[in-house]
């Protein structure tokens, strides 16, 4: 999972800046708490300036609906003034999101490749001060097997590939109907042309017979 935190902060009464903090490429330590109805996983990593940051996910489960979801995100970022000189009177960011997200059936995993934005507030407030951008996400909680393989994924957006087959079949059927209809019209026109030709031949024969009969009568009288 790729992530980035975008924090808005004021450097003066009339000026606001945005602080972009990328998630770690490698994690130094992972801790967790696996309860029956609540599970937490915490990722810890040390920055280049030896500051320790934390990113934690808390999942809840409903045994009645057989669903689990992301109940809370907890982000702790230490702000080193050498790296962020514009940040004044703020030594760390403790951000949280308590909005339920990613409702997923138990024994399945949640997967989403697109970018998603989640609002974050300060722990002691309820005003959005940051956004968490995540992408290439696949998560699963309450995994009751001993392996480390994700369960069958439930995607945030239905894949468009299954629609390709019925669309292709529908187009093929439309093309086939059109071909059959054109062939029928051509055949029908040719059949009508043959019938008309036969009628003309019969009329010509009848006309010739009438002329011969008239000629014979003329010779007799």
* Segment (H or E) for 205: helix 161-220
Sign of the C-alpha dihedral, residues 136, 142, 147, 152?
negative
Please give the helix or strand (H or E) that residue 29 lies within, else none. Answer: strand 29-34
Residue ranges of domains in the chain: 2-157, 158-221
> By three-state DSSP, how is residue 187 classified?
helix
Q: Is pLDDT above 80 for 22?
A: yes
pLDDT digits (tens, 9 = 90+) for 127-152: 888 899 999 999 999 988 888 899 99
Higher pLDDT: 161 or 66? It is 66
What is the pLDDT, as a whole number, of residue 90?
Answer: 67
In this structure, CATH architecture of domain 2-157: Beta Barrel (2.40)
Report pTM: 0.65
Residue 161: its pLDDT value, please? 47
Instruction: Please say whether the beta carbons of 51 and 21 come within 8 A.
Output: no
Q: Which of 76, 132, 146 is nearest to 102 (CA)?
A: 132
Within 13 Å and on the Cβ side, how many CA atoms surround 65?
10
Q: So what's the pLDDT on residue 15? A: 75
Task: Please compute the mean of the pLDDT values over residues 180-198 and round it to a whole number.
Answer: 70
């Amino acid at each position: 999972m790729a992530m980035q935190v975008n924090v808005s902060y004021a450097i003066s009464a009339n000026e606001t800046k945005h602080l972009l903090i990328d998630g770690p490429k490698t994690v130094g330590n992972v801790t967790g708490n696996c309860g029956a109805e609540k599970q937490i996983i915490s990722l810890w990593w040390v920055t280049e300036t030896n500051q320790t940051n934390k990113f934690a996910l808390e999942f809840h489960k409903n045994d009645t609906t057989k669903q689990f979801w992301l109940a809370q995100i907890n982000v702790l970022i230490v702000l080193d003034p050498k790296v962020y000189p514009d940040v004044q009177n703020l030594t760390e960011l403790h951000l949280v999101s308590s909005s339920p997200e990613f409702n997923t059936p138990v024994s399945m995993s949640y997967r989403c490749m697109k970018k998603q934005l989640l609002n974050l507030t300060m722990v002691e407030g309820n005003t959005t001060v940051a956004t968490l951008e995540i992408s290439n996400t696949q998560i699963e909680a309450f995994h009751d097997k001993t392996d480390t393989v994700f369960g069958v994924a439930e995607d945030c957006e239905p894949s468009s590939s299954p629609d390709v087959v019925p669309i292709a079949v529908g187009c093929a059927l439309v093309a086939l109907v059109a071909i059959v209809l054109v062939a029928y019209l051509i055949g029908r026109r040719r059949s009508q042309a043959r019938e008309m030709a036969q009628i003309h031949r019969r009329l010509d024969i009848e006309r010739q017979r009438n002329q011969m009969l008239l000629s014979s009568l003329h010779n007799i009288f």
